[in-house]
Amino acid sequence: VTINSFFQGCKAILVGDMVEDTKGLRYHPACFSCASCSTRITSAYTYDQHGRIACEACARKQVTIDLQV
C-alpha cells in the first residue's frame, strides 16, 4: 500500500466515492472541508498560506488580514 492509496483527510484506504483536489490529493466527500472553519467544500475553493484547503470566505478573510498588516 502506497501513500497514494489513502484519503488525504482521514487517512483511510481509498474505497468508494472520492473528491480529488487540484493537487491530485483525494478525499471522502465528507472530509473535503475548509481547514479554517471546517465548512464542507461543495464548490469553489482555494488554498491558504500553509497549502491547506480553504473555502472562499476564509480565503477572503485572510487576504483582508494580510492587507491590514
> How high is the pLDDT of residue 63?
63
To the question of pTM greater than 0.75 for the whole model, the response is no
Which pLDDT score, from 0 to 100, does residue 39 have? Answer: 92
Closest listed residue to residue 45, CA positions, set 65, 28, 23, 66: 23
- Spans of the chain below 70 pLDDT: 1-4, 6-7, 63-69
Map residue 54 onto helix, strand or coil.
Answer: strand
- DSSP 3-state of 45: strand
